[in-house]
Amino acid sequence: MFAFTQQVTLVTRTVSGQDAYGNDVFTETSTAVDGVVWPRDGNGTSGNEQLQGRDTVIVGLSLLLPPGTDVTAVDRVDVGGLSYEVTGEPGHFFSPFTGSDPGVLVGLTRVTG
């Protein structure tokens, strides 16, 4: 993959049944994965920059996982001791021109409370 990666923990959630109220009950499986992590903010740019006279705030992370990594929108990722939810559907990119397959791009949002 890339020369400088960070080990993260992918927590895969699978529906294992329903509770007494009919809500889904999940089973979690943790897997260590190497990925590339960088910060993102609410405006789609990285860092703490001035945009139209206001400061942006980091709201999550972007994560590039190895090609073929199975990750869904209901999964969670632990990075540096903090827990993040997968935001939206992960994206898989492949170039038909070069054959390049950089991996699976995942947006992460910090889990609090």
The predicted structure's pLDDT at residue 48: 46
pLDDT of 32 strictly over 50: yes
Q: Quick check: helix, strand or coil at residue 58? A: strand
pLDDT of 104 strictly over 60: yes
The predicted structure's pLDDT at residue 41: 64
**Could you read off the pLDDT of 49-102 as tens digits, one per residue?**
455 555 555 579 999 999 999 999 999 999 999 999 999 999 988 888 998 998
Task: Please state the domain extents for the chain.
Answer: 6-110
Overall fold of domain 6-110: Thrombin, subunit H (2.40.10)
Number of separate helices (H) and strands (E) present in the chain: 0, 8
Nearest-CA neighbor of 16 among 27, 5, 8, 32? 27
The predicted structure's pLDDT at residue 14: 92
Q: How much is the pTM? A: 0.76
Q: Please state, in angstroms and rounded to a whole number, the distance separating the CA atoms of residues 111 and 113.
A: 7
